């Protein structure tokens, strides 16, 4: 599939609305946050490097039999946690004796008086980003991991290697990247082996919940779904583009409903207001920020008619892959990691894009001199319209 940079067809947020949002975003509180951000990042790098010094690797160590310890956020509610659960299944296939250490409390800021694991380890898997190592490493005694072969499972979504991760080269023997897109970035940034080990993604399990009935959505309604965590960088997930594409494709057609499932933080919760303003009177778009149970989320994924992801970049894209495995049509920006697996599925619909320079009021990425994708909203709307017509025709056929 040859989908590259798109043409000039774009649908944008009105200038007056965009200006109002800019004023709202740059509040005095946010200016104070941005003013302290550089110092906080410096401190974080120093702490990470100091923690790693006590756990420096033995370069001569290789994979071996024995206990393998897996550090992972197994009780979290984000994409990294879900990916870690997929990875754990594969790690258990590699090793006979696997011990898991849930890092949820540690990365949430809970302090430990002493390590919780002190036995000797043969292999160690860190299924978390290096910026979490400062809090994760104290969970195990340095001497317990002195002879361990260490694997870092990293996921990254921009073409620029985060220099804040440089310290990890002294700690990790090997990096597992979830995509070739991420792997290329890591190879440019660290002098240790980098392998592409894709997540062993599975379709969401069948659910006992009938989410359409629970939420009063008719079975005939064309249901679109977009799921995104915008607690750190809303610009990457691009929720506004999803609203614009749906409105361009369907106007206020009540036979086509979009569920826009978002998660925000204190710093990004103003995006909810922006989305409400952008949705306006369109009652065929529902903005949701409530927490769903696993059964509800699974039912939602399985009952939708199309999954929409107009992101600017993905280090992997679990929701995209899960939807494809469910046999759902997926309309996604054809750039970054999903390019590597998406075209293998008949339901993958690639959205054209243009390169755009990174700009983000949250300042999420320290290494900011890069370009990522600006999806063609008009092209996405056309794809959605085509899928709608085919889906509605199929539903009518099944009735007779």
Instruction: Domains for the chain: give ranges and CATH numbers.
Output: 52-196 (3.40.50.11930), 207-399 (3.40.50.2000)
Q: Nearest Cα to 44, choosing from 366, 273, 359, 289?
A: 366
Query: Strand runs (DSSP E) across 112-190, as ranges?
Result: 123-127, 149-154, 174-177
Q: Residue 394: which pLDDT band, with cuts at 50, 70 and 90?
A: confident
User: Of residues 127 and 6, which shows the higher confidence score?
Assistant: 127
Q: Which residue has the higher pLDDT, 17 or 369?
A: 369
pLDDT in tens, 302-317: 999 999 999 999 999 9
Q: What is the pLDDT of residues 256-299, one digit of tens each?
A: 999 999 999 999 999 999 999 999 999 999 999 988 999 999 99
The model's pTM: 0.93
Cα dihedral value 364, 365, 369, 372, nearest 10 = -80
pLDDT beyond 90 at 3: no
Q: 196-210: per-residue pLDDT in tens? A: 999 999 999 999 999
What is the rounded average pLDDT of the residues 129-151? 95
pLDDT at 10 over 70: no
Q: Tell me what the mean pLDDT of segment 90-111 comes to.
A: 92
- On the question of pLDDT at 7 being above 50, the answer is no
Residues above pLDDT 70, as percent of the chain: 97
Residue with tokens 């750039």: 335
Copy the structure tokens of residue 291.
Answer: 């927490």
Supply 107's token pair: 């990365």
What are the residues whose beta carbons fall under 8 Å from the beta carbon of 90, sequence distance 6 or more?
A: 197, 200
The CA-based angle 37-41-47, given to 5 degrees, is: 145
Output 141 or 77, whichever has higher pLDDT. 141
Residues 63-86 have a mean pLDDT of 92
Q: What is the pLDDT of residue 60?
A: 96
What is the Cβ-side half-sphere exposure of residue 135, based on CA atoms within 13 angstroms? 17
**Count of other CB atoms within 10 angstroms of residue 113:** 5
Question: Strands of 194-196's sheet, edge to edge?
Answer: 98-102, 68-72, 123-127, 149-154, 174-177, 194-196
Provide the token pair at 121.
């380890």
3-state helix, strand, coil in the chain (%, to 5): 40, 20, 40
CB-count exposure of residue 197 (10 Å: 0-12, 13-18, 19+) = middle
Extract the tokens encoding 138.
């104290």
Please name the residues in contact with 59: beta carbons below 8 A apart, sequence gap of 6 or more: 173
Check whether 9 has a pLDDT greater than 80. Answer: no
pLDDT at 400 > cutoff 60: no
What is the band of 8 on the pLDDT scale with cuts at 50, 70, 90?
very low
DSSP structure string for 55-76: T---TT----SS-EEEEE-TT-
Residue 48: what pLDDT? 86
Cβ 165 vs Cβ 186: under 8 Å: no
Please report which helix (H) or strand (E) contains residue 227, including its range: strand 222-229
Tokens standing for residue 316: 């992997």
The Cα–Cα gap between 259 and 257 comes to 7
Q: Looking at residue 137, what DSSP letter applies?
A: G
If one compares 213 and 398, the residue with the highest pLDDT of the two is: 213
Residue 6's pLDDT is: 47
Strands (E), 264-340: 285-288, 306-309, 330-333
Report the run of H or E that residue 279 belongs to, with start and end: helix 270-279
Average pLDDT score, the chain: 93
Q: Are 171 and 197 in contact (CB under 8 A)?
A: no
Check whether 2 has a pLDDT greater than 70: no
Query: What 3-state class would DSSP assign to 223?
Result: strand
CA distance 302 to 328: 8
């Amino acid at each position: 599939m040859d989908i590259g940079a798109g043409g000039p067809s774009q649908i944008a947020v009105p200038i007056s609305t965009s200006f109002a949002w800019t004023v709202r975003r740059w509040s005095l509180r946010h200016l104070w946050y941005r003013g302290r951000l550089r110092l906080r990042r410096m401190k974080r790098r120093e702490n990470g490097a100091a923690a790693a010094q006590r756990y420096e690797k033995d370069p001569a160590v290789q994979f071996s039999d024995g206990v393998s310890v897996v550090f992972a956020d197994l009780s979290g509610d984000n994409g990294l946690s879900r990916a870690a659960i997929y990875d754990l299944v594969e790690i258990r296939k590699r090793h006979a004796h696997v011990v898991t250490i849930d890092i949820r409390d540690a990365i949430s800021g809970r302090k430990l008086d002493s390590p919780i694991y002190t036995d000797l380890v043969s292999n160690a898997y860190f299924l978390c980003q290096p910026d979490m190592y400062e809090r994760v490493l104290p969970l195990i005694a340095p001497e317990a991991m002195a002879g361990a072969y260490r694997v870092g499972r990293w996921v990254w979504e921009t073409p620029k290697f985060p220099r804040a991760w440089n310290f990890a080269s002294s700690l990790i023997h090997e990096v597992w990247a979830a995509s070739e897109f991420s792997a290329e970035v890591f190879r440019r940034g660290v002098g240790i082996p980098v392998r592409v080990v894709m997540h062993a993604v599975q379709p969401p399990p069948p659910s006992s919940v009938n989410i359409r009935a629970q939420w009063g959505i008719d079975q005939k309604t064309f249901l679109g779904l977009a799921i995104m965590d915008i607690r750190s960088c809303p610009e990457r997930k691009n929720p506004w583009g999803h609203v614009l594409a749906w409105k361009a494709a369907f106007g206020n057609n009540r036979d086509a409903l979009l569920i826009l499932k978002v998660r925000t933080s204190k710093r990004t919760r103003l995006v909810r207001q922006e989305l409400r303003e952008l949705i306006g009177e369109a009652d065929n778009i529902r903005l949701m920020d409530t927490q769903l149970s696993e059964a509800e989320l699974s039912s939602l994924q399985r009952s939708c008619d199309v999954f929409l992801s107009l992101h600017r970049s993905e280090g992997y894209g679990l929701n995209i892959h899960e939807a494809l495995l469910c046999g759902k049509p997926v309309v996604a920006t054809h750039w970054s990691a999903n390019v590597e697996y998406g075209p293998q599925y008949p339901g993958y619909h690639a959205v054209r894009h243009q390169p755009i320079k990174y700009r983000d009021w949250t300042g999420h990425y320290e290494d900011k001199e890069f370009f990522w994708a600006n999806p063609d909203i008009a092209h996405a709307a056309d794809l959605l319209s085509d899928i709608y017509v085919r889906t509605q025709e199929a539903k009518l056929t099944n009735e007779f």
